[in-house]
Amino acid sequence: MIEVEWWEYDDAEELAAAVAGDLQFVIESALDARGTAVIALAGGNTPSAAYTKLAAAKLDWKRVTIIPTDERIVPLGDKLSNVTMIGKTFIPKGARVMPIVPQATTDHKAAGRSADALMQDLHWPLDLCLLGIGEDGHTASIFPGADYDEALSGPRERRALGVMPDPLPPEAPVARVTLSRQGIVTAKALTIIIAGAAKRKVLEDAIKQGESSPYPIGRVLAEVELPVDIHWAP
C-alpha cells in the first residue's frame, strides 16, 4: 500500500489555512531551488478558501505558473471553468495562470492534445499537484468512460488528454481535459484536500483497494511513489 499522511482539522477554516501554508512552502522551495515554480491546482469548490489564503502569501508570484489539474470544456469566464476560478484569485497577484482548453472547441480529444502540447512546454515534472476528489471517487477529471484506460495507462510521456465521462457528472455535465495519471503521480509533491465523511470513506477504501479499486482516485494513487499528504475536515 502507498504511504499517506492524514492531517485532520476541526473545520473548513483550519483546513484552508493549513493547505495554504503547505502550498506556500512547496512554492517557496521551488523558487529557492530553481527560480520558478509550476503547480497544478484542483478545481471544484473545496479548495477555493485555501487559494484565497495562499494568494495573500508574500511570494514572487510572477515566477509561479499555475495550471488547473483539469478543465471542463466551457468558455473562459463560465461558472464551471476551473481556470477562471483559479485565475480570479491568482492573476491579480501576478501569477501566470494558464488556461489549458483552447477557446471555442467542441472536440475534447483535440482539446486534450492541445493541453498536452502546452504542458510539454512547461518545466516538468510539476513541483506540486493538489487534487480534490468527488464522492464518486473521481479525481482531476479522471472518470470511468471511453477514455478511462487512456487516462490511466496511456503513453508515459502523455501529460494531459481529453475525456468524456460516462455518465457525465451532474455537477458539471460536460466533456473535460485532465492531467493523466502519469502527469499527476510524477509530481514532486502530491497533496489532497477533501471535506466530509463521505469523501473520507471513499478515499480510505480507494487507498486500501489500490490498482483494483473501482474508484479513479484508487487507481491513480496506486502508482504514486512518494508519500501523499491528505488534508481533511468534516
64-68 and 96-97 as β-strands: parallel, antiparallel, unpaired? parallel
Q: Assess contact for 182 and 153: CB atoms under 8 A.
A: no
Q: Which stretch binds ligand 6PG (CB under 6 A): 92-100, 102-110, 127-135, 156-164?
A: 127-135
Nearer to ligand 6PG among residue 9 and residue 29 (C-beta): 9
Among 99, 132, 165, 183, binds ligand 6PG (CB under 6 A): 132
* Residue 144 sits in the site that holds ligand 6PG (CB under 6 A): no
Please, which of residues 178-207 interact with ligand 6PG by CB under 6 A?
none
* Residue 120 sits in the site that holds ligand 6PG (CB under 6 A): no
Minimum CB separation of residue 216 from ligand 6PG in Å reads 9
Instruction: Assess whether the previous peptide bond of 125 is cis (omega < 30° from 0).
Output: yes
Please choose, from the candidates 9, 3, 1, 4, the residue with its C-alpha nearest in 3D space to the C-alpha of residue 195: 9
Cell numbers describing residue 78: 463560465
Minimum CB separation of residue 34 from ligand 6PG in Å reads 26
Number of residues this chain uses to bind ligand 6PG (CB under 6 A): 17
Among 87, 134, 137, 162, binds ligand 6PG (CB under 6 A): 134
* Residue 69 sits in the site that holds ligand 6PG (CB under 6 A): yes
Nearer to ligand 6PG among residue 132 and residue 183 (C-beta): 132
Taken as a whole, the chain contains a residue count of 234
Q: Which stretch binds ligand 6PG (CB under 6 A): 13-21, 37-45, 56-64, 89-97?
A: 37-45
* Residue 70 sits in the site that holds ligand 6PG (CB under 6 A): yes
Please, which of residues 76-105 interact with ligand 6PG by CB under 6 A?
82
Report how far residue 69's alpha carbon sits from residue 163's, in angstroms, rounded to the nearest whole number.
Answer: 13
* Residue 140 sits in the site that holds ligand 6PG (CB under 6 A): yes
Nearer to ligand 6PG among residue 138 and residue 200 (C-beta): 138
Please choose, from the candidates 5, 22, 16, 4, the residue with its C-alpha nearest in 3D space to the C-alpha of residue 233: 16
Residues that bind ligand 6PG (CB under 6 A): 42-46, 69-70, 72, 82, 132-134, 138-141, 172
